[in-house]
Amino acid sequence: MDPILDLGSRYNLSVIEDACQAHGAEYFSAREHRWRRAGSMGQAAAFSFYPGKNLGACGEAGAVTTNDETLAREVGMLRDHGQSSKYYHAVEGYNGRLDAIQAGILRIKLQHLTHWNEQRRRSAKRYDELFAPMAGSVRVPYQPAWSKPVYHLYVIHTPYRDELQKHLTEAGIGTGIHYPIPVHLQAAYAELGWKRGDFPVSEDAADQLLSLPMFPGLRSEDQRRVVEAVAEFASVRSTG
Ligand SMILES: Cc1ncc(COP(=O)(O)O)c(C=O)c1O
């Protein structure tokens, strides 16, 4: 984040963090010589509380964090039909209010977030160890020394992603792809004129990523079964 924040201040740009998968994740700022939490570094940040997230509601929910009081007021208005006070619409807004019942659920679940994140980190470490002998065929997440991720997902890279996903599905193992179509190839942004080949790193990621089972409470024997199924696929592929 240091280089991104530097760019922001050099060109007078606002930095908005997408912290939707990063509740509790930390970044070591060399500039400030301290660990900083995701969602606290930019001018504002967005958190998703979609049910599957590390901190998930029982329905749709999310939050914006910021230290900027003016921005907080504006975001508060946007989520409430643009009202600055009851019946006074200062700007055009929409209904993005968090249900009280969702807030109540999140408040209880927040107490468990640190523990759940620890469980995810332990599971990620276990996957790393189990995949170590397959380093040539499966790329596991890279964890730089300046990051403490919270493993919303455990994502491997393989050029045989679609075949591997099919193999795992047949073995009764659920997987996901986050995400299969990069932003520049989405119909919503077609008018920008980007085409396949313009962002090769994003495109390779979209073609090769596979998210393996990851949630607090994932059992080590289930992780072993997942990795064995991946190894089985790799050995059939190399002999077939
Ligand atoms: C990185 C990232 N950003 C934004 C979103 C959008 O979150 P929501 O659907 O809660 O608005 C998601 C949801 O999956 C996400 O993973």
Regarding predicted confidence, which is higher, 238 or 109?
109
Banded model confidence at residue 174, pLDDT cuts 50, 70, 90: very high
The tokens for 116 are: 């759940």
Banded model confidence at residue 238, pLDDT cuts 50, 70, 90: confident
Instruction: Please tell me whether the peptide bond between 179 and the residue prior to it is cis, using omega within 30 degrees of 0.
Output: yes
Distance 24 CA to ligand 1 centre (A): 16
Mean pLDDT on 232-238: 88
Listed in sequence order, the residues at least 6 apart from 194 whose beta carbon sits closer than 8 Å to its beta carbon are 184, 185
| Ligand 1 atom 10, closest CA | 48
Confidence check: pLDDT of 240 > 80: no
Mean pLDDT, all residues of the chain = 97
Distance 45 CA to ligand 1 centre (A): 12
Confidence check: pLDDT of 137 > 90: no
| Ligand 1 atom 2, closest CA | 20
Mean pLDDT on 175-196: 98
| Ligand 1 atom 4, closest CA | 20
Distance 235 CA to ligand 1 centre (A): 36
Pocket test for ligand 1, best of 48, 151, 214 (most atoms within 8 A of CB): 48
Residue 139 sits at φ, ψ, to 5 deg, of -95, 125
What pLDDT was estimated at residue 92? Answer: 97
What pLDDT was estimated at residue 191? Answer: 97
Span 90-124, pLDDT tens digits: 999 999 999 999 999 999 999 999 999 999 999 99
Provide the phi-psi class of 102: left if phi over 0, else alpha when psi is between -120 and 50, else beta: alpha
Residues with CB under 6 A from ligand 1: 18, 20-21, 48, 50, 62
State the maximum Cα–Cα separation within the chain, in Å, rounded to a whole number: 70
Distance 47 CA to ligand 1 centre (A): 8
Pocket test for ligand 1, best of 17, 21, 181 (most atoms within 8 A of CB): 21
Distance 135 CA to ligand 1 centre (A): 30
62 by Cβ neighbours in 10 Å (0-12 / 13-18 / 19+) ranks as middle
Span 199-232, pLDDT tens digits: 999 999 999 999 999 999 999 999 999 999 999 9
The ligand 1 atom nearest the CA atom of 49: 10
Cα(116)–Cα(208) distance, integer angstroms: 28
Question: What is the CATH code of the structural domain delimited by 2-110?
Answer: 3.40.640.10
List the domain boundaries for the chain.
Answer: 2-110, 113-239
Cα(159)–Cα(3) distance, integer angstroms: 31
Distance 181 CA to ligand 1 centre (A): 15
Assess contact for 56 and 109: CB atoms under 8 A.
Answer: yes
The ligand 1 atom nearest the CA atom of 18: 3
Please provide the distance, in angstroms rounded to a whole number, between the alpha carbons at the two ends of the chain.
45
Lowest-pLDDT range of 2-11, 139-148, 230-239: 230-239
What pLDDT was estimated at residue 215? Answer: 98
The ligand 1 atom nearest the CA atom of 60: 10
Give the homologous superfamily in CATH for domain 113-239.
Answer: Aspartate Aminotransferase, domain 1 (3.90.1150.10)
